[in-house]
Amino acid sequence: MGKEIIQQQFGANAASYATSKVHAKGASLARLVEVVQPQADWLVLDVASAAGHTAWAFAPHVQHVWSTDITPEMLDLARQQAAERGIENVTVAYADAEELPFPDASFHLVTCRIAPHHFSNVA
């Protein structure tokens, strides 16, 4: 599926991701934080963040989280969600999962919770 089609499809449905039980309250969120045991000085990158749920789960435990996506509506929603939750240590930014704009070894942890099956090149 081409990136423009992904942007259109997910952009049209962005609001539903904010309240989706699987995305917003899935058991994997707490389990991910529990297993990883993030440290207070960590920098975290969440790839294909959608509404930002993984970023919100890690934000209280780390120094800073970058919540990234390619869909403008998802980025707007994530910014809104961060503001509503009073989360100040998250940067919401455009980044293509297959062409990340960050130098190697920029983060202590990189997450991508429910999106890799949408990527044409997961390597």
Question: What is the reported pLDDT for 121?
Answer: 63
Q: In the chain, what are the domain boundaries?
A: 3-114
CATH architecture assigned to 3-114: 3-Layer(aba) Sandwich (3.40)
Q: What is the pLDDT of residues 105-121, one digit of tens each?
A: 999 999 987 555 455 66
- Biggest CA–CA distance in the chain, Å, is 38
Return the H-helix or E-strand segment holding 78. helix 72-85
Going across the sheet that includes 64-69, the strands are: 90-94, 64-69, 43-46, 109-111
pLDDT tens-digit map of 54-89: 999 999 999 999 999 998 888 999 999 899 999 999
- Please report, for residues 12, 90, 111, 122, the alpha-carbon distance to residue 78 in angstroms, rounded to integers and kept in the order given: 15, 10, 16, 24
CA 33, CA 113: separation in Å to the nearest integer? Answer: 12
25-63 pLDDT, tens digit per residue, is 667 888 999 999 999 999 999 998 888 999 999 999 999
List pLDDT tens digits, range 96-105. 888 899 999 9
pLDDT of residue 51: 85
